[in-house]
Amino acid sequence: MKTVYEQLQERLDKFPQGYPKTESGVEIKILEKIFKPDEAELALHLRPNMEPVSAIAKRLNRDAKELGDKLYAMSRKGQILRFRAPGDNLYYALAPFVIGIWEFQLNNLDKELVDMVMHSYYYEGMKKGWDANTVQMTRVITVEKNIPSDLVIHPYERVSRFLETSDRFAVAECLCRKESKISGRNCSKMLEACMTFGVGAAYSIENGMAREITKEEARSILIKAEEDGLVHCSYNHAGFSPFICNCCGCCCGILRSLSELKTPNMLAKSNFYVEIDGSACTGCEVCLDRCQMKAIEIEDDHAVVSLERCIGCGLCVSTCPGEAIQLKRKGESEIPVIAADQHELIQWMAKGVGKPYPFE
């Protein structure tokens, strides 16, 4: 008979993102570290779509008050999802492992957990799940100020839209750089850099994962992230997204999936690319340090870019002393259709891997 942790692994693997089984069984050890047996049992009976406590209690034949307290405690521990509806009514759902349970362990990280997830499961399991995807879950957002004014730019391509359409803002430590620090691989990039907006900010603040900031503070952090050479990443759809990760190539799991695992299916490049004017380039190599993807090299005393590796973040543009680098927009035939919102994105991802969603 399968253990509750083996059953939970199978249930989490039903998400489009997956939580694949490995030969070593490290995925089970991770769940044992995060969930107590009774918590794993309860998570096992939650659905991927939000349900009110009353509906869950009726379905599981449990006392609503006792169950509500248990679900809230589990959501505070980052084990499941919680949504606070108008009237202070709480809804709960099973969370995927990524983006979800793992990111919610920000305050619970220790070396054992980091080693299991990022030094074992990252290579044994996550790559397997990402390779199966045909629709990228996340995408690069280009440095907005570096996009020439004569180019077409859609609302979802503008980082400023996150500020304009949100009423609450929060900032948290970067999970990936915190992992590196715990592993003894300190990164020089800013640690407090992951941002949440609207309901995402409310959730992360209530769960003690982030501190609330003003809109102007949020704007300043985005500018500092760009100055620090960090890549803006968010969900790959045109609707409201509750977060922006500001990523470095040495620590970020998403960027590493491209550069290290050679897995293109986790991150969508932006709709822009850079073009370098060799006659204006002085060969100063500033752009080499700015590029998180190592897409730029020096050949014959001037910089050249590999369009295969370029993700169109735009970080190299503003720091070029010779103004030799410029962003260009891809041709319309090269720009994929983007999902309208989070719901459609998950549906597309599920269809791409042949999984029914939502599952019961």
Residue pointed to by tokens 């030969």:
23
Same domain, 27 and 120: yes
Is 119 contained in some domain?
yes
Same domain, 142 and 91: no
**What's the pTM value of the predicted model, to 2 decimals?**
0.94
Band of pLDDT at residue 202, cut at 50, 70 and 90: very high
The pLDDT of residue 168 is above 90:
yes
Same domain, 148 and 238: yes
Same domain, 277 and 292: yes
CATH of the domain at 63: 1.10.10.10
Is 345 contained in some domain?
no
Say if residues 284 and 324 touch (Cβ distance below 8 Å).
no
Write the secondary structure of the chain as one string of H (helix), E (strand) and C (coil).
Answer: CCCHHHHHHHHHCCCCCCCCCCCCCHHHHHHHHHCCHHHHHHHHCCCCCCEEHHHHHHHHCCCHHHHHHHHHHHHHCCCCEEEEECCCEEEEECCCHHHHHCHHHHHHCCHHHHHHHHHHHHHHHHHHHHHHCCCCCEEEECCHHHCCCCCCCCHHHCCHHHHHCCCCEEEEECHHHHHHHHCCCCCCCCCEEEEEECHHHHHHHHCCCCEEECHHHHHHHHHHHHHCCCEEEEECECCCCCEEEEECCCCCHHHHHHHCCCCCCCEECCCEEEEECCCCCCCCCHHHHHCCCCCEEEECCEEEECCCCCCCCCCCCCCCCCCCEEEEECCHHHCCCCECCHHHHHHHHHHHHCCCCCCC
- pLDDT, residue 20, reads 95
CATH of the domain at 321: 3.30.70.20
Is 353 contained in some domain?
no
**Could you report the per-residue pLDDT of 15-62, keeping only the tens digit for each?**
999 999 999 999 999 999 999 999 999 999 999 999 999 999 999 999
Same domain, 99 and 16: yes
Is 241 contained in some domain?
yes
Nearest to 179 by CA among 119, 120, 128: 119
Is 159 contained in some domain?
yes
Same domain, 112 and 205: no
Q: Which domain holds residue 254?
A: 134-269
Ramachandran assignment for 102, one of left (phi > 0), alpha (psi -120 to 50 degrees), beta (any other): alpha
Is 64 contained in some domain?
yes
Domain boundary among 130, 163, 184: 130
Same domain, 257 and 278: no
Mean pLDDT of the chain: 94
The pLDDT of residue 132 is above 90:
no
| Ranges 79-83, 196-200, 261-265, 342-346: which has the least confidence | 261-265
**Could you report the per-residue pLDDT of 67-95, keeping only the tens digit for each?**
999 999 999 999 999 999 888 799 999 99
Same domain, 247 and 286: no
Our count of domains for the chain comes to: 3
- pLDDT, residue 182, reads 96
Domain boundary among 269, 300, 317: 269
Domain boundary among 242, 269, 296: 269
The pLDDT of residue 134 is above 90:
no
- pLDDT, residue 158, reads 95
**Could you report the per-residue pLDDT of 306-332, keeping only the tens digit for each?**
998 899 999 999 999 999 999 999 999
- pLDDT, residue 254, reads 84
Same domain, 260 and 289: no
Band of pLDDT at residue 130, cut at 50, 70 and 90: confident
- pLDDT, residue 271, reads 96
Same domain, 208 and 287: no
Is 355 contained in some domain?
no
Q: How far apart are CA 296 and CA 308, in angstroms?
A: 11
The pLDDT of residue 269 is above 80:
yes
**Average pLDDT for residues 143-158, to the nearest whole number?**
93
Is 356 contained in some domain?
no
Band of pLDDT at residue 126, cut at 50, 70 and 90: confident
- pLDDT, residue 265, reads 60
Percent of the chain scored above 90 by pLDDT? 88
Same domain, 153 and 77: no
- pLDDT, residue 262, reads 66
**Could you report the per-residue pLDDT of 219-268, keeping only the tens digit for each?**
999 999 999 999 999 999 999 999 999 999 999 988 887 877 666 566 89
Which two three-digit tokens encode residue 213? 């900031």
**Average pLDDT for residues 201-213, to the nearest whole number?**
97
Same domain, 138 and 260: yes
